[in-house]
Structure formats: structure tokens, C-alpha cells
């Protein structure tokens, strides 16, 4: 069995130290458990206020902090995303860090959010390749937020024989939707369905780590982080508040299911 810790927070705008302390709080709180992988949301260190202080190519002090957490708590980590600057370009990047605190993979978000008032593409340069991370317990496919609207992205990942796909995200709705109970519930139900579908379509464990509550510019994250099985069973689901989800998963289940239905080899 592998232990998964999925963290959901409301990152404060530009408050890197405060937000990093929230991450460590939830890891420490669950450090008595078997921690094979910790996941945190998109923009976990800054929320959407990332332009003022982008990190360097290797993630700057924020990723150094996460590397130390990996060593301190003997866990692998998918460090949500930080925005890093390389020369004159910025990338929205998820870092895979092993138990030794080593960066073993970096994934630059490919599908940028330029809709409903979003303008990510005005500031961020899109990535151009899929990325997987070989951890000591499983192979993990990396995706970020709006990638979920592009099924072929995940099809490419499963062709790399991943066992788990992770999706750090800051999935938002407008304040008009958020502040109406019915429309918020509809948005959350849609989100649940979308993530369960990706898990089932690709026959992998699917882990989505979302922000929660206000994200600025009259936009709100809808929470609802999840750990989902390859058969679309929700093993753990968050409400719309800061928390951490934990679940034990069986990696061999992925291989067993794919022995009956070799989805990665079917075009």
C-alpha cells in the first residue's frame, strides 16, 4: 500500500512564508502516517499574485523549502506549481521531488487558462512536452489545472505507463457563481464528474489538489480536492475549506485492471 496526502489550502496573495507554513502544518499533522506522496495546489506559495516575485529556474527559495520538507518527513512531493522565470519568459511549473530532496522532474503547464476573464497566456509561456516522474513506489504523470479539459494530454501520459496522475489546480468560478448555493453546487458537481472521468478513462489513480475560497479579481476556488481510484471511486474528497486528505492506495490495482483492458495500447 502507498500513502497519499493531498493538501488543499487558501493561499494568501504573495505571502510565500505564510503559505509554506500551511503546507508544513498539514504534512507535520499527518507525519504519523505512511507518506509516499504529498501533493499541493497550483500557485500554492503565492496564489495568483505571482508576477511580482517569480522564482528562478529551479524554483528559488520556495522549492528549496519543499526539498527540505521532503527530506525532513521522508516523503516524495509534487510541489503544486510555482511560477519560474527563465531569461525573459515565465513558466507555471510543477516540481517532482523525491525523498532525498532531489528535483527529479519539472512540468511546465501546457494548456493555459485564457477564458472567463483569465489571462494566464498574457504572462506565462506554455510548456511543450508531457512529463512523468519515477518515484520509488510508482510512476506519476504530471498535469496542471486546465490540462484536464484536454483528454489527449492524459492519453499520452498513460502511454508512458503511469500508475498515478496528479493535477495541482486553482479551479475557479466567478463570484456570481460562487455566492449562489445552487450554481456553486453545479460547478462542484461538474468538477467531480470531470475528474472521475479522467481517472476512469485512463484507469489510473487520479489526485487533484485545489485551492479553496477567494483568489482575487472576484474569482473563487471551489475546493473539492480528491483522491480517486482507477474505477472512479472517490477515496477521499474535501469540502470547500483548508484541509488535508489521506488515503492508502494499491498500485498493483492499476496493473491488474490494465491486464484485462490494456487501454494504453489501444488507439
Task: List pLDDT tens digits, range 83-108.
Answer: 999 999 999 999 999 999 999 999 99
**Domain, as residue range, for 63:** 2-265
Question: Stretch 11-33: mean pLDDT, rounded?
Answer: 96
Quote the cell numbers at residue 112: 493555459
Q: How many domains does the chain have?
A: 1
- Whole-prediction pTM: 0.96
User: What pLDDT, on the 0 to 100 scale, is given for residue 76?
Assistant: 98
Mean pLDDT of 2-11: 98
In whole angstroms, how far apart are CA 77 and each of 33, 36, 38, 67, 199?
Answer: 15, 8, 5, 8, 20
- Residue range 160-179, pLDDT digits in tens: 999 999 999 999 999 999 99
In this prediction, residue 113 carries a pLDDT of 81
DSSP, collapsed to helix, strand or coil, labels residue 247 as strand
Q: If pLDDT is split at 50, 70 and 90, which confidence band does 70 have?
A: very high
Asked if residue 117 has pLDDT above 70, the reply is: no
For 179-204, what is each residue's pLDDT tens digit? 999 999 999 999 999 999 999 999 99
CATH number at residue 214: 3.60.110.10
Taking the C-alpha atoms of residue 140 and residue 99, their distance in angstroms, rounded to an integer, is: 15
Check residues 259 and 193 and name the one with the higher pLDDT: 193
Amino acid at each position: 500500500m502507498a500513502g497519499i496526502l493531498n493538501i488543499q489550502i487558501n493561499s494568501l496573495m504573495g505571502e510565500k512564508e505564510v503559505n509554506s507554513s500551511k503546507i508544513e502544518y498539514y504534512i507535520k499533522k499527518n507525519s504519523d502516517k505512511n507518506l509516499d506522496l504529498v501533493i499541493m495546489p497550483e500557485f500554492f506559495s503565492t496564489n495568483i499574485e505571482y508576477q511580482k516575485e517569480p522564482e528562478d529556474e529551479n524554483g528559488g527559495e520556495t522549492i528549496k523549502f519543499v526539498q527540505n520538507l521532503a527530506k525532513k518527513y521522508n516523503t516524495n512531493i509534487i510541489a503544486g506549481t510555482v511560477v519560474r522565470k527563465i531569461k525573459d519568459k515565465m513558466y507555471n511549473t510543477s516540481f517532482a521531488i523525491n525523498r532525498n530532496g532531489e528535483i527529479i522532474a519539472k512540468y511546465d503547464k501546457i494548456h493555459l487558462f485564457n477564458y472567463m476573464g483569465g489571462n494566464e497566456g498574457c504572462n506565462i509561456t506554455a510548456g511543450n512536452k508531457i512529463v512523468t516522474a519515477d518515484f520509488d513506489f510508482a510512476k506519476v504523470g504530471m498535469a496542471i489545472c486546465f490540462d484536464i479539459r484536454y483528454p489527449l494530454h492524459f492519453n499520452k501520459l498513460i502511454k508512458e505507463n503511469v500508475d498515478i496522475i496528479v493535477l495541482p489546480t486553482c479551479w475557479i468560478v466567478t463570484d456570481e457563481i460562487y455566492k449562489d448555493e445552487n450554481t456553486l453546487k453545479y460547478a462542484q458537481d461538474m468538477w467531480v464528474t470531470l475528474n472521475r472521468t479522467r481517472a476512469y478513462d485512463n484507469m489510473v489513480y487520479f489526485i487533484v489538489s485545489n485551492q479553496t475560497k477567494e483568489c482575487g479579481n472576484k474569482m473563487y476556488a471551489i475546493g473539492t480536492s480528491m483522491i480517486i481510484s482507477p474505477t472512479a471511486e472517490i477515496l477521499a474528497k474535501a469540502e470547500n475549506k483548508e484541509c488535508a486528505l489521506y488515503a492508502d492506495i494499491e498500485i498493483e490495482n492499476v496493473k491488474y485492471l490494465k491486464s484485462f483492458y490494456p487501454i494504453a495500447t489501444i488507439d
